[in-house]
Structure 1
């Protein structure tokens, strides 16, 4: 039985997820980033997270060779930042507040949380690669998360 890709996408769209922006820095010192919703924790000991990146994404080839990754878990109110890093603009970092982690990766101001990671494993999985990253540093703020649900952004009300 072959599952229709549109039907599969519709089913997965019913799974609400947080929104992250992954960043890295190439050997020439250029920053790169992309919005990722296929992100989750994998282990507490050692602290590991997973990010799934489409082979066609610009960041994919970079993450196949670079090990340092910044993760900004976006807060409610950062939808514009998420949209910016979901598009193919060359000036994505212009005019956005951020700090650099200890290894030089970008971590965005006002994010709900930050993780500084090292890619430890790469696993091919269909049209994506699963990047297993060990968390070296983490910080959290008391904010509400930005969510992605049914093809759009949402906020958690409490």
Structure 2
């Protein structure tokens, strides 16, 4: 099967939109991702999947920690920025901090983690994080389906 067919099939699964954030040498970095999952309740573990060629891959190995910021439907510009879709537009992001990790203010939820395992799988690495802190806010999620952003009410 070809890559396009695989991508089209995977795109049929509606997901939330997250930004993975970390800090290296006092500089904050972010990457939009929808490859996130909760793994375990006891201990509290989550996993993100990052392409081995992505800049974030080496940054996570250096920092040893990350935050998963669940975006609200009003934070679509942040998703686009960290997905590299707004390169020519000036955009300043002020980060907060949770458990020593940079986080996006007003996200629907934020999970701060220390990396406890990393598994190379195909052209990605699965970074398993032990949850060190959580923050939850009110709002509606930003969703992604069939290659485009969606809002919860569009699925109702």
Q: Same fold (TM over 0.5)?
A: yes
Q: Contact conserved, 2:32 with 2:79, CA < 8 A, in 1?
A: yes
Which residues in structure 2 correspond to 1:1-158 (within 5 Å)? 3-26=1-24, 28-87=25-84, 95-103=92-100, 105-157=101-153
Q: Distance in 2 between matches of 1:88 and 1:143?
A: 24
CA RMSD of aligned residues (A): 2.1
Q: Distance in 2 between matches of 1:13 and 1:143?
A: 24
Q: Distance in 2 between matches of 1:75 and 1:97?
A: 16
Q: Distance in 2 between matches of 1:119 and 1:4?
A: 33
SS in 1 for 2:74: coil
SS in 1 for 2:126: strand
| Structure 1: unaligned runs, 5 residues or longer | none
Q: Distance in 2 between matches of 1:69 and 1:16?
A: 23
Q: Contact conserved, 1:68 with 1:118, CA < 8 A, in 2?
A: yes
Q: Distance in 1 between matches of 2:123 and 2:133?
A: 30
**TM-score, normalised on structure 2?**
0.91
| Structure 2: unaligned runs, 5 residues or longer | none
Indicate how the Cα distance of structure 1 residues 89 and 156 shifts in structure 2: closer, same or farther if over 3 A, else same.
closer
Write out per-residue CA displacement over residues 15-72 of structure 1, whole angstroms, 9 at most, x where no aligned residue. 001111111111x211111011111111111111110001111101111232121221
Indicate how the Cα distance of structure 1 residues 90 and 6 shifts in structure 2: closer, same or farther if over 3 A, else same.
closer
Q: Distance in 1 between matches of 2:66 and 2:81?
A: 18
Aligned structure 1 segments of 4 or more residues deviating by more than 4 angstroms: 88-94
Greater helix content: 2
Q: Contact conserved, 1:85 with 1:92, CA < 8 A, in 2?
A: no
Indicate how the Cα distance of structure 1 residues 54 and 145 shifts in structure 2: closer, same or farther if over 3 A, else same.
same
